[in-house]
Every structure is written in C-alpha cells, then in structure tokens.
C-alpha cells in the first residue's frame, strides 16, 4: 500500500455488480441486490482486495451477507455481533485498533479505508442491534 500512496493508480470503468458476481462461489450465501447502478472508475486489483476483505469479515461473524448496490454506492450488511461505538469511531477515521478491539490481523479495515481513499471514495461502518453495515461511496 505504501507504494500506491506515492503515485497514481490505473483505473478502469466497471459495474460493481460484476465484481460481486466473482465472489458468489467463494461466499455461497451472498445475496446481491442491484437497485440501480452506474459504472465506477476503479483499480480492479485493489477493489477485489477490498471486497474480499469486507466479505471475509462479514462471513467470519455471520454465515451470510447482503449487498445492495444503489447508483455508485454499495452497502454490505451482515447479522454479526454489534461492534462497540468506540471501535467504530476509530475504524471510520482509519485509525489503528488495539489488539483487544479486533480479531485477525487488525489491518484489514485500515487497508480498505486506504483503498477507498485512493479512489477518492468514502467508506463508513455502522453497527447496532446485531447488524453491521459497511457503506462504500465511489
């Protein structure tokens, strides 16, 4: 990621629904709903990494996820345990979490945050009532 921050990334025009289709075999209970979709300018390799990371996190805590695509916005929702608000605040600012605040390596969401920054997009996570929603805006 450090090298990418230094220069421009190669982007191509694509529809996010096509990206999620590639993950349906790996994540068999993935439900993708397309309400309306516009093409987005993204780096395919980085977006694949971003989506795989977010889906892996969703499936780690819940055996399914729902994706909703509305124009250039993607919502990824799972029914896992609620994330504490103090942790959410750090994640939404792209800050490093303490070891007791995560499972795994703790780098995944930070990498997702940086990938969205490289695309001049936004990522936001909210969690309440045993449901977590990640919003990507391209």
| CATH number of the domain bearing residue 44 | 3.30.565.10
Q: How many domains does the chain have?
A: 1
Residue 126's alpha-carbon distances to 19, 50, 84, in angstroms, are 23, 17, 10
Chain centroid offset of residue 79 CA? 15
pLDDT, tens only, 118-135: 999 999 999 999 999 999
Stated length of the chain: 138
Six-digit token pair at 64? 């399914």
pLDDT, tens only, 37-84: 999 999 999 999 999 999 999 999 998 899 999 999 999 999 989 999
- pLDDT the model gives residue 104: 54
User: Taking 70 as the threshold, does the pLDDT of residue 34 lie above it?
Assistant: yes
57: containing domain: 2-137
User: Taking 50 as the threshold, does the pLDDT of residue 105 lie above it?
Assistant: no
Residue 72's alpha-carbon distances to 3, 44, 91, in angstroms, are 27, 15, 22
Could you tell me which residues come within 8 angstroms of residue 1 by beta carbon, excluding any fewer than 6 positions away?
111, 114, 115
C-alpha–C-alpha distance, residues 134 and 76, integer Å:
5
Percentage of residues of the chain with pLDDT beyond 70: 88
H-helix or E-strand spanning residue 42: strand 40-42
């Amino acid at each position: 990621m450090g090298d990418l921050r230094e220069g421009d990334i190669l982007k191509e025009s694509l529809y996010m629904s096509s990206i999620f289709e590639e993950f349906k075999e790996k994540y068999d209970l993935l439900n993708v709903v397309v309400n309306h979709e516009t093409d987005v300018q993204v780096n395919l390799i980085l977006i694949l990494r971003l989506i795989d990371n977010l889906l892996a996190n969703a499936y780690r805590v819940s055996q399914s996820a729902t994706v909703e695509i509305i124009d250039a916005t993607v919502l990824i929702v799972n029914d896992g345990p609620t994330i504490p608000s103090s942790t959410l605040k750090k994640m939404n600012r792209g800050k490093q979490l303490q070891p007791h605040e995560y499972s795994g390596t703790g780098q995944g969401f930070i990498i997702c945050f940086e990938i969205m920054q490289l695309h001049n997009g936004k990522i936001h996570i909210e969690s309440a009532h045993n449901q977590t929603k990640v919003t990507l805006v391209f």
